Amino acid sequence: MTTKRKTKREDALTMLERKFGRLSVAEFLWAWRVGDEMSQKQFAKKLGISVQSLCDLEKGRRIPSPARAAKIAKKLGYSEPALIMIALRDSLHAAGFNYKVTIESA
């Protein structure tokens, strides 16, 4: 018998979304940066991206690819599957699709 167990951060994501609605990558990054009391310049440096790229991500003008979402998650110590899921969901939403997205490792 196998059991699936979500990480604490994934459980927190589910709980937050139930209370506040769908979370986007833009909102996630902005909230993380503000919560850590960092400027965009400091946060961009931590993520290894340009300030303009961070600004575009925070404003929702760009949605990261799954690979980029994984790199960002890793730099933050956050769940890679959770941030990839949010990024994929953002991409589908931007294209007009309202699908539930889940990620499982093989």
Q: Which of 13, 12, 11 is nearest to 25 (CA)?
A: 13
pLDDT of residue 11: 64
Least confident of 1-5, 70-74, 102-106: 1-5
Supply the pTM of this predicted model: 0.82
pLDDT tens per residue across span 16-74: 778 888 899 999 999 999 999 999 999 999 999 999 999 999 999 999 999 999 999 99
| pLDDT at residue 15, as a whole number | 79
pLDDT of residue 21: 84
Residue 21 — left, alpha, or beta (φ > 0 → left; ψ -120 to 50 → alpha)? left
